[in-house]
Chain A
């Protein structure tokens, strides 16, 4: 198990896609925060209800890229055929997937801290530059970074499970992007009473904020955390069942 985990962590560090994913995440984070901080009107940005929505992008971006890292770690094996040598080396398929999910969760923690931390730093400096007082407190920032990191780790596990079920890289990547960037926002915007229970909104509750959602809409951090653990566990369990049952081409 430890050997498999060290192998998975090594694989993560030695692919081109990992470097591309990290660079894209940093680029997207800078772009999204700058667009919000420098295009919105002063009145809009000063409101205590709007600032969490801007800072909330750290949560969504962290979750998205962590989930992509998890999904790509397994779909890349199917895509390039390395699943064969991987399973020949360790025929205990469940252990391989658990090791992958663990490696993804570790990467997810790093991604989550980086995304939330960058949004916090760029967002606050941008607001300070425009002379707009920041309505979030130190506690809010702490929850945003710690909760964002934990949420991203859980999303990485969810992504690994989803990738194991789907196998196809394009389907997994498109599915995760569409869900987190479109569907979640529509749900929380149009039917907040149901949308607050969705996995992205649960992550928002854990981090205390997300884009397009007032803090009043979100569940408590504990409820969000439990719900997100549940979603990650269901996806991981379905992935384990799928890899055990299916033949490898």
Chain B
């Protein structure tokens, strides 16, 4: 690379990423890059390898071969990663006996983030009145919002969300869409996985469609002819319309 001539570094760079579990190839030579300020949908049927890819990207699992870089580095080499990357992988990732506020405070302490940021986020995700209750008593939608608040603690520039709309009601999905648009408009980058196309079709700028661990299409949504076109393409590529 020559200084000054290189374009801006991609926020996410995945190259030939492969993950095998025994004989099963969960992620198969996957390559893609994400530029700043966009919302990218990571689409595919259940079991296509979306969650495994995100785990590899976030350093929770090691690739069998290839690499996944965030801001030019493996996640595990990022200094203070929560200040750059916010992630929501599973909605139930909290101790059911700990209150919502204390869940966030434990994470904030580990990243050296001030406790007032916790209260700010509880208000943003509209959990301020439930914050003193054990998280085990939360509804599915409240759990998702608690997870989203955890992802936002460090004012990240990149959000990685795995099925964030699961369990949200219509108003919740609407709120999430608005939130993601606003986040991207402020220069943030979002990678959001979903197996339900309708949830994300109206929100994403790009779509990565994966099937059996392989990337089958990269789509710029605004270049598609109409609102039903992404769905049609998705169904053709993933073969889920056969039945």
Contacts and interface: CB of A to CB of B under 8 A. Distances in A.
A186 interface: no
A16 interface: yes
B9 interface: no
A7 to B, nearest CB: 4
A17 interface: yes
B98 A15 contact: yes
Interface residues of A, number: 25
Contact of B109 (A6, A17, A92, A247): A6
B177 interface: no
B61 A248 contact: yes
A139 interface: no
Interface string B76-110: 10100110010101101111111100110111011
B127 to A, nearest CB: 16
Interface in A1-35: 3-4, 6-7, 10-11, 14-17
Contact of B150 (A7, A10, A85, A91): A85
Given A7-B109, A10-B105, A80-B93, A88 B99 contact: no
A167 to B, nearest CB: 14
B107 A89 contact: yes
Contacts of B61: 247-248
Contact of A80 (B81, B94, B106, B110): B94
Q: Which of B76, B90, B92, B98 has the most CB of A within 10 A?
A: B98
Interface string B206-234: 00000000000000000000000000000
Interface residues of B, number: 34
Contacts of A90: 110-111
Given A14-B99, A80-B96, A82-B94, A89 B110 contact: yes
Contacts of B103: 82
A193 B121 CA distance: 60
B93 A82 contact: yes
B71 interface: no
Nearest to B95: A80
A90 to B, nearest CB: 6
Contacts of A81: 90, 92-94
A84 B90 contact: yes
Contacts of B102: 10, 14
27 contacts: A3-B109, A6-B109, A7-B107, A14-B106, A15-B98, A16-B98, A16-B134, A80-B92, A80-B95, A81-B93, A84-B89, A86-B110, A88-B85, A88-B87, A88-B89, A89-B81, A89-B107, A89-B111, A90-B111, A91-B75, A91-B78, A91-B81, A92-B76, A247-B60, A248-B55, A248-B60, A248-B61
Given A80-B92, A87-B60, A89-B110, 20 more contacts: A3-B109, A3-B110, A4-B110, A7-B107, A10-B102, A14-B105, A16-B98, A80-B94, A80-B95, A81-B93, A81-B94, A82-B93, A85-B93, A88-B59, A88-B89, A89-B107, A91-B81, A92-B76, A247-B55, A247-B60
Interface of B: 55, 58-62, 75-76, 78, 81-82, 85, 87, 89-90, 92-99, 102-103, 105-107, 109-112, 134, 150
